[in-house]
A and B are shown apart, each in its own frame.
Chain A
Amino acid sequence: MTDLLTPVLCENWGTEKSWKLSAYLLSGGFSAAKKALKLAPADVVGIVKDAGLRGRGGAGFPTGLKWSFVPQDNPNPKYLVVNADESEPGTCKDMPLLLASPHTLLEGIVISSYAINCHTAFVYVRGEVVHVARRLQAAVAELHEAGWLGKNIQGSGFDLDIVIHSGAGAYICGEETALLDSLEGRRGQPRLRPPFPAVAGLYASPTVINNVESISTVPSIIKNGAEWFAGMGTEKSNGFTFYSLSGHVKRPGQFEAPLGITFRQLLELSGGMRDSHELKFWTPGGSSTPILTPEHLDVPLDYEGMASVGSMLGTKAMQVFDETTSVVRTTLRWSEFYKHESCGKCTPCREGTWWLVQLLRRLEAGEGQEGDVDKLLAVTEDINGLSFCALAGGAVACVTSAVRHFRPEFELGYTTPAWESFPYERSAVFIKDRPDGQSEGGRV
């Protein structure tokens, strides 16, 4: 039986200067890449396929299958683009991984590039985290020095360069085709599909776009085998992944566990809710996944489990809110996020979020009018499924699920401001510093 937590990617995060190549090599780094370079590229694809690794960026598309779509007879160069534009509210796993162990990703890139015959790979990293860019850039330089990048890496005959590309503030660039447009120096707006990136992506060439965590998982699969990976998790959701807990829990943080762990188990590991407070609602995978309530504590956190309760696994980012929290306020703030991040390309998202925010604002202020909650739902219906990309779907998911679970609280907005029903200062958690400058683990 597999243990409740299975640290693999984070295993070396606590080591001295874990971000350095020397430290990474000491913890067994690049043994997987060495192994992969001796295999035929198609065999590497095969192993990842057999492992059943599914994309960890939210959509859960099988990674090996994605790779196998790259037409190798296409005369254009093939590209690998790593999506490190982590911006989904609640999601906070890729940035710590890249800070602590950028080489895990880079080793994954070496292997994945080899598998798809790519000689220039890009890491599109969100711009608002300078230190991550610094560490990635330095790590790439170390690899060039060490002969793991450049021409004929490690004498394998395989050439590879990695470009670290900093974004500039746009959630939508997490959408893979918007990311490609952005990487081409354009406005990050999603592209029509088809053609799919695997056929005509970056510079209209075959391109694979994978999340940081997906590519970072590849070395462990190559090193330990597909069976090892598939041996963890549930029937259709193989392997381990990061679960991120934030919000009103005693100890927020990252948990690397096999797929299928439950929220109850994770909540226990994080010490439960802050003292004298109880769980009100939570997101399973970022703000784009429909919110859940205490009744969903025991649903397995895998693709199928979440689908069974009308939500999604998403990025496995659990934002946890206790009973002090106004769900109207929270929903409004998510809607404001989507309005702020809507790229503007399509009508439902651009105009719909404009409307939703105004409706929610008056409900928050207790100035809602009779029928506003139904109107809110009606507007979501005019957005949902009709937009160009999935962003708008996320924008309405939080609204519809919140109304589904907490309709009376929204209707309270016809008469009473949310800050009166739920005084906002009661939700705030400011923790004191310990004398050593570190934050206290426990919370008020």
Chain B
Amino acid sequence: MSGKEFQTYFPHSGRIDEANTSTEIDEKTIAELEEIVARYPQPRSAVLPMLHLVQSVDGRVSPRGLEVIAELAGITPAQVSGVATFYTMYRKHPAGKHHIGICVTALCAVMGGDILYDKVSEHLGVGDGETTADGSFSLERIECNAACDFAPVMMVNWEFLDNMTPEKATQILDDLAVGRPVKPNRGATLTSFKENERVLAGFNDGRADEGVSAGEPSLLGLSIAKERGWAAPKPGAAPKEEAPEAKEGSGK
């Protein structure tokens, strides 16, 4: 009931998949990688965004990507590998066109994340870290994604799909499978894992104006304050004497 088994044997850890040498990295990619390097006072700082860009091209951290980044950052491929295998967003195997993350940290898990994960896993026929045979979807158990007031949370290509239910989730997956547009609750219409990785590499896709300002829970306190006419004091108004009510003993 707590999701996957406790894993103790790690036969394939420690490296990216070096056997898969395929790559789409070309001159244009290298020029863009150089552009990333130029943003920083020191080239090594560009390693994380460069890895995102490599994933936007190859869908994973490819051996060629490792090599090119090492060269541009002035470090060894082993050092880049140390970085690439440290962060969970960097993939050893290709992501699906859409990358699905289900939050299974305590709160989301309790609120239904575990049930949601099982349902999505069953629906896609893949488990944690796996990609569907047709390359459409990859699935990942993710840790807290900073949207607890929207639990349970599902992420698609790292866009928020808030207050998820098994029914909504399967519908979204089916829509994505046939290419029907899906709008996240707070974000831009879903495109693909690779396209969003490009944004994370710092290449804006011009879609910042899509989506809402804030979800309902984000605005809850504000709307209650408005309803009740509460506000921060005006500058120059009387300083705190008695702070909020029911604060005996700790106020000034």
Q: Do chains A and B touch in the complex (CB under 8 A)?
A: yes
Of B44, B148, B165, B236, most A-chain CB atoms within 10 Å: B148
Is A185 in contact with B46, judged by CB distance below 8 angstroms? Answer: yes
Which parts of B99-145 form the interface with A (CB within 8 Å)?
A: 101, 104-107, 109-112, 114-115, 142-145
Selected from B217, B235, B238, the residue in CB contact (under 8 A) with A251 is: B217
- Are B105 and A337 in contact (CB-based, < 8 A)? yes
Query: Measured between alpha carbons, how far is A2 from B246 in the docked complex, in Å?
Result: 12
Interface residues of A in 144-172 (CB under 8 A from B): 163-171
Q: Taking CB as reference atom, which chain B residue is nearest A183?
A: B45
Q: What residues on B are CB-neighbors of A293 within 8 Å?
A: none
Are the CB atoms of A251 and B52 closer together than 8 Å? Answer: no
Asked if A168 meets B222 with Cβ closer than 8 Å, knowing A203-B42, A231-B233, A304-B250, the reply is no
Within 8 A of A (CB), among B37-94: 39-49, 51-52, 73, 75, 82-83, 86-90
Say whether A167 contacts B148, CB under 8 Å.
no
Per the bound structure, the CA–CA distance linking A319 and B144 in Å amounts to 12
| Number of CB contacts from chain A to chain B under 8 A | 387
Contact of B107 (CB < 8 Å), options: A90, A120, A203: A90
Residues on the A chain within 8 Å of B162, using CB: 439
Count of chain B residues with a beta carbon within 8 Å of a chain A beta carbon: 111
Given A130-B157, A168-B90 in contact, is the A235-B252 Cβ separation under 8 Å? yes
- On whether the beta carbons of A298 and B246 are closer than 8 Å, the reply is yes
Q: Are B149 and A254 in contact (CB under 8 A)?
A: yes
Give chain A interface residues in 33-51, CB to chain B under 8 Å. none
CA distance A419 to B115 in the complex (A): 13
Q: Is A66 an interface residue (CB 8 A)?
A: no
Taking CB atoms and an 8 Å cut-off, the chain A residues in 375-409 that contact chain B are: none
Q: Mark out the residues of chain B between 178 and 232 whose CB falls within 8 Å of any chain A CB in the assembled complex.
A: 184-188, 196, 199-202, 204-209, 211, 213-226, 228-232
Instruction: List, in ascending order, chain A residues with CB within 8 A of B219's CB.
Output: 10, 13-14, 253-254
Residues in B neighbouring A439, C-beta threshold 8 A: 162-163, 185, 216
In angstroms, how far is the closest chain B Cβ from the Cβ of A372? 15
Interface residue count for A (Cβ, 8 Å)?
Answer: 135
Separation in Å of the B205 CB from the closest CB of chain A?
Answer: 7
Would you call A334 an interface residue if the criterion is a C-beta within 8 Å of the partner chain's C-beta atoms? yes
Q: Which residue of B lies closest to A172 (CB)?
A: B86
The residue of chain B having its C-beta at the shortest distance from the C-beta of A287 within the complex is: B106
Scoring A residues 113 to 141 as 1 if CB is less than 8 Å from chain B, else 0, what string do you get?
A: 00000001000001111110111011101
Q: A4-B245, A252-B149, A319-B106 are known contacts. Are A166 and B200 too (CB-CB below 8 A)?
A: yes
Taken together as a complex, chains A and B put the C-alpha atoms of A231 and B251 apart, in Å, by 11
B-facing residues in A227-259 (Cβ within 8 Å): 227-228, 230-235, 240, 243-248, 251-258
Bound-state CA distance A334–B144 (Å) is: 10
Q: Give the residue name and chain of the A residue nearest to B5 (CB).
A: A361
- Contact in complex: A131, B218 (CB < 8 Å): no
CA–CA, A163 to B251, complex, Å? 41
Known: A134-B204, A431-B163. A2 touches B233 (CB 8 A): yes
B147 beta carbon closer than 8 Å to chain A: yes
A92 x B149 contact (CB < 8 A): yes
A-B pairs, 4 with minimum CB distance: A253-B220, A185-B47, A253-B217, A169-B88
